[in-house]
Structure 1
Amino acid sequence: MLKHKFTAALFVLLLLVFIVLNVEWWLYLLIFLVFIGLTSWGSFDIRLNYFIKAYSSNPNEKSRRIALTFDDGPHEMTEKVLDLLLKYNAKATFFCIGNQIEKHPEILQRVIKEGHTVGNHTLSHSKSFGFFSTSQVKEEIEQTDTLLQNKTIKKPLFFRPPFGVTNPNVAKAIAQTGHSVIGWNIRSLDTVIDDETKIFQRIKKKVKPGGIVLLHDTSLKTVNVLEQLLLFLQSEKYEMITVDKLLNISAYEN
């Protein structure tokens, strides 16, 4: 939360200076709007590390290695994703929703069996996640950890917040649970864009060593894009690895 605290302190300092100088009212409004804008931007862009440290890439990676990540499963489409990963000898990281784990435990088992990494993506993936209290965030994370641990894996140490939203409550909860927050630097927008070619081109132009790609294993559209992407990465001699290998950090508690 260092960036947020610095911004807040700067905001307070400027207010005090404005009071001393007796400046025009619109300057107060301007600095307030700037502060709100920066805080909102920091909440929704996980790469900024505004409220919490997030690993969004490995900028020191020199080899052609990249991490593919999938959010919101396990899902029926996860099976097709796994088929493609197996076909192209690629490994990936899956950020799983607790409620989805309960619906498709057998798919989660296959993810683990085939050597992919699993992370926590909350229990409900609620659209109101950004308004959750610290205790609510912590509870959702811990319940999902328990579900994952019950499926024969150790406690996962990776957490990705729904929609990439961070705020002081999320930061406090993560400080208590001890997870590493995983972001991305290549966002496919595969849940927003309908045109498969546009999604693929969006990813392709941003590919570089050390990148983390955000995809969702929940639609046939993404499956079709994935095959194009895997063919491209293979032709460019990229190795598709899990996030823990890319970042050289632990994915599970020892």
Structure 2
Amino acid sequence: MNTSTLYYSKALNGSDLPAKTLCLTFDDGPGQHTLSIARFLFEHHIRATFFVVGKYAFHHPEILAELKAMNHIIGNHTYDHPDMPVYLSVDGDVIDQVLRTDVLIKPYAGQEVYFRPPYGKWSKEVAEELNKSMLTANHIGPIHWEVAGIDCYYWYNNWPVADAAKRYLDDIEQNGHGIVVMHDDVSDMDVVKAKNQTLQLLQLLIPQLLEFGYQFVGLDEIPSIKEASAQKDQFTLRDRKGKFLCLNNQNQLIANGKPDNLQNILQFQDLGYGKIAIKASNQLYWSTAGEAGFLSAKSTEIAAEETFDLITVNKNKLMLRATNGNYLTIEKNGIVSSSAQYMRQAAVFRYVNHNSFVESKLTLQQRFKLLKKKLLFIKSKLQQKL
């Protein structure tokens, strides 16, 4: 498994948990049953993860706040709950599905965001698409499971809660450990919402599991997920000419790096409100505190000079603006500085997820569009000089 990717081509799960160790997760909320489930678990000292759907989270920030107060984990389950591979195949914006929910859950989810795709549906193509965006660099996923979330089908068919509890117990005993999925709400079957009896299911199931010697852990305690968390956010940036940003001997930032050079590798920290800090390969933060606004990596802490506005151009292209209001640009000698007063002078950087980004050749139509944009840009600059 390539541990430098943000989204893995294969799902993460709880297969490396010790015997009789479970991690409870809940999908499709928040809804009318979410808090009663969360409180029951809290009373039993069980820390669960709630993968929330953005269109519901938008209306219930108070539920997210209570989940956080009870020390439960809040994860991202997209905004509209689409089948991600199918959605991408019809030109759906999978990055937007993730980021729209991020905006809603970030105040409650912490620095790292765990991601589970609806229905567990996933593909290499979805992973590659999501890995193109710097804005998803603090995500860990896709999170899969060992014990499937069959509870909603019991509620849909009006089958007894006791039967659902027995089915879960049998599946858990068969697996012996792992991640368990249940539903605190149901995103795509409105007729089931009022029938939800997951709380009653837990009230039957948890005492039996405790009696059988099972213990419960949080999602962030699973070894493979902890490993993914530690490695998730490595990336590189390169300029229009294809040169990677790296450090020179004076720890100044320059556009002169070559592919597969460890000096190119960067990490970033999301500071909220569209602001980020970037850590260079020497494990020090980029800073504009140097001479003439030249960027260097010499700071161990994040202050104003180490803070940048992230401006997304498209999926994998971006601009950066320093707190002095100037944009980052590349001088003729290749040194990166914060001297561009206007956006038209700013450098456009290409985000490359380390070891996971796959170059794709442009079609003739795409090349024509790029040429047209360049001609319009040149025309606008000529008009400014007149």
TM-score (norm 1): 0.71
What letter matches 1:215 in structure 2? Answer: M
Q: TM-score, normalised by structure 2?
A: 0.48
Given that 2:147 and 2:180 are in contact with CA atoms closer than 8 Å, whether structure 1 keeps it comes out as: yes
Superposition pairs for residues 67-146 of structure 1, below 5 Å? 67-126=23-82, 129-133=84-88, 136-146=93-103
Aligned residues: 203
1:215 to 171, 177, 182: 182
Secondary structure of the residue that 2:74 maps to in structure 1? strand
**Could you list the runs of 5+ residues in structure 1 that have no partner in the other structure?**
3-50
Matched with 1:21 is none
List gaps (5 residues or longer) in structure 2.
Answer: 3-7, 186-192, 234-268, 270-386
Taking the aligned partners of 1:223 and 1:107, their CA distance within structure 2 comes to 16
The structural deviation recorded for 1:77 is: 0.3
1:181 is aligned to 142
Secondary structure, aligned partner of 1:204: helix
Identity %: 29
Query: Which structure's residues are more often strand, by fraction?
Result: 2
Deviation at 1:135, TM superposition (A): 6.0
Alpha-carbon distance in structure 1 between the residues aligned to 2:128 and 2:37? 34
Tell me the CA shift for residue 155 of structure 1.
4.5
Answer 1 or 2: which has greater helix percent: 1
Q: Which has the higher contact order (CA 8 A, sep 6+)?
A: 1
After TM superposition, give the deviation of residue 64 of structure 1 in Å.
3.2
Q: How does 1:168-247 map to 2 (within 5 A)?
A: 168-176=124-132, 177-178=136-137, 179=139, 180-194=141-155, 195=159, 196-207=161-172, 208-218=175-185, 220-247=196-223
- Cα displacement string for residues 45-71 of structure 1 (whole angstroms, at most 9, x for unaligned residues): xxxxxx822112233x33532100000
From the superposition, tell whether residues 76 and 141 of structure 1 become closer, same or farther in structure 2 (CA, over 3 Å).
same
Deviation at 1:111, TM superposition (A): 0.7
The answer to whether the 8 A contact 2:24-2:48 is kept is yes
SS of residue in 2 equivalent to 1:201 = helix
For 2:179 and 2:204, locate their aligned partners in 1 and report how far apart those are by CA, in whole Å.
17
Q: CA RMSD in A?
A: 2.6
8 Å contact 2:74–2:108 — kept in the other structure? no
TM-aligned CA distance change 1:166 to 1:152, over 3 Å: closer
Matched, 1:57 2:33: no
Task: Kindly state the Cα deviation for residue 188 of structure 1 after the two structures are TM-superposed.
Answer: 3.3
| 2:84 and 2:126 in contact (8 A); partners too | no
Amino acid at match of 2:165: F
SS at 1:206 equivalent: helix
Q: CA separation in 2, counterparts of 1:147 and 1:205? A: 37
Partner of 1:39: none
